[in-house]
Amino acid sequence: MNLFTKFEQNVLNEFCENDVAKQVIPEYEEKYEYLPQTLNNPVKDFFYWIKGEIYDLQALNDCFLGRERLIKRKAKLENKKKNDQSTLDKLSQGKKTLGTIFKGESAKQVTMTNLSNSIATAERDIELYDKILAMVESYIGKNVIPEFKEQKEKFYYKI
């Protein structure tokens, strides 16, 4: 028997002048000894529910942020390809750039070859990013959002 139960029992005995027949709840310690352990805190349940909802929304937000990162990487590659293409065009026309002012003809040819390889690699990577983005957007649109919506609707209709 814990201290609180003893105190309650003593208060009841004092109030009833130690007469068990006058007690409203004579079996206090048997019935209510484990009452504090069986009660749950609704604020705690509410806290965990809200925390779960926040995690769900953060996961959905992370999904969209991942898509945005892919778009930024693709834009960066497109920008690099555009810059390399303009540099290659200048070199093929015989113009000088800051990187080729002090280079000879053979070094310019090597630079032009490297730029063409870089452009080809960038084009291939851009195509792959397009495919990846199409897959991600399809997955988000067909699986993630409907599943998220369905789970939330089920839960809220339960309430």
* Mean pLDDT computed over 82-89: 90
Which amino acid, 113? T
* Mean pLDDT computed over 106-128: 90
| Average model confidence (pLDDT) across the chain | 84
Confidence of residue 91 (pLDDT cuts 50, 70, 90): confident
Which residue has 């930024």 as its token pair?
72
Residue 69, Cβ neighbours under 10 Å: how many? 10
CA distances (Å), 78 to each of 45, 86, 90, 142, in order? 50, 12, 18, 28
* Mean pLDDT computed over 73-95: 90
Where is mean pLDDT largest: 9-13, 38-42, 60-64, 106-110? 60-64
**What percentage of the chain's residues is helix, strand, coil (to nearest 5)?**
80, 0, 20
Residue 133, judged by CB atoms within 10 A of its CB (0-12, 13-18, 19+), counts as middle
* Mean pLDDT computed over 86-94: 85
Where is mean pLDDT largest: 34-38, 102-106, 154-158? 154-158
Q: Count CA atoms within 13 Å of residue 129 on its CB side.
A: 19
* Mean pLDDT computed over 29-34: 63
Rounded to whole angstroms, how far apart are CA atoms 59 and 66?
Answer: 10
Residue 88, Cβ neighbours under 10 Å: how many? 19
Confidence of residue 22 (pLDDT cuts 50, 70, 90): low
Residues 33-55 as b/e (b if ≥16 CB within 10 A, e otherwise) read eeeeeeeeeeeeeeeeeeeeeee
Is the pLDDT at 127 greater than 60? The verdict is yes
What local confidence, expressed as pLDDT, does residue 87 receive? 87
